[in-house]
Amino acid sequence: MSPSDRLAWRAFVKVADTLVADFDIIEFLNTVAEYGVELLGVSACGILLAEPAGSLDLVAASTEQARVLELSQLQNAEGPCLDAYRTLTPVICPDLAAETGRWPTFAPAALAAGFAAVHAMPMRLRQQAVGALNFFSAEAGPLNAETTELGQALADVATIGILHERAIRRHEVVTEQLQVALNSRIVIEQAKGVLAERLQVGIDTAFTALRGYARDRNLKLAEVARAVAVGDLDIPLPADWAGPPLPGPSPAG
């Protein structure tokens, strides 16, 4: 096994381990996104799911940086994720600077945010797409065939994760599960806002506190977020929080 094979193997085992009964869909997708960063050697990874009207909403990411969130939102109009979602095939873009014609809004925005290359892998279920994985890289350069396959495999794992809870006997189960994930994400955003205001910190810091609280206590992120959003739970700043900007969540090792 090459080092990258070993890394891939470890990632898939870890992701498979997450697929136990009653798992936390958002935390699972966050884990997938973190491994995406590690496996593909990129700067950030976002996971977007299709909502009923057909636009793509970000539900998980390797980092909650505003620039990643905003670049995801832009892709309801254009961008690699939308293309991957629509065509059901991976979109590899080694040099964003050459793609300003293809994506006149997205490409300049991504370049301005410090990314030079962007790739997207569709989340496929039979002949349908349910979303896409988005990989952002600070350095220009292609993905080789092997890495592309790895990225697609990760997208397939993410899809299975969303659907795993129940046998897929009925097609509407897909939409049900997507709704749960999309709605959980909304709750998390609301909880970020509640905490940011209560603790008087930024949105990023609020997320770090929220996630740290859930992880330390082995609680589901979505449930902790709901309790915070409805005012049933008050989360303090982490004890080791030393003042100005907390770093975003670092990729899991």
- Which residues form the interface with other proteins (CB under 8 A)? 43-44, 51-55, 57-58, 63, 65-67, 69, 73, 113-114, 128, 138, 170-172, 174-177, 179-180, 183-184, 186-187, 189-198, 200-205, 222, 225-226, 229-231, 243-248, 250
**What is the smallest separation between the CB atom of 196 and other proteins, expressed in angstroms?**
6
- Angle at which helices 221-229 and 203-216 pack, to 10 degrees? 120
Residue 237 makes CB contacts below 8 A (sequence gap 6+) with: 199, 201, 205, 209
**What is the smallest separation between the CB atom of 148 and other proteins, expressed in angstroms?**
20
Between CA 37 and CA 216, with CA 35 as vertex, the angle to 5 degrees is 115
Q: Is 36 exposed, middle or buried (0-12, 13-18, 19+ CB in 10 A)?
A: buried
CA 45 – CA 32 distance, rounded (Å): 9
Q: Are 130 and 178 in contact (CB under 8 A)?
A: yes
**What is the smallest separation between the CB atom of 103 and other proteins, expressed in angstroms?**
18
Closer residue to other proteins (CB): 1 or 50: 50
**What is the smallest separation between the CB atom of 127 and other proteins, expressed in angstroms?**
12
Closer residue to other proteins (CB): 16 or 186: 186
**What is the smallest separation between the CB atom of 78 and other proteins, expressed in angstroms?**
14
Closer residue to other proteins (CB): 14 or 198: 198
Closer residue to other proteins (CB): 89 or 175: 175
CA 49 – CA 58 distance, rounded (Å): 6
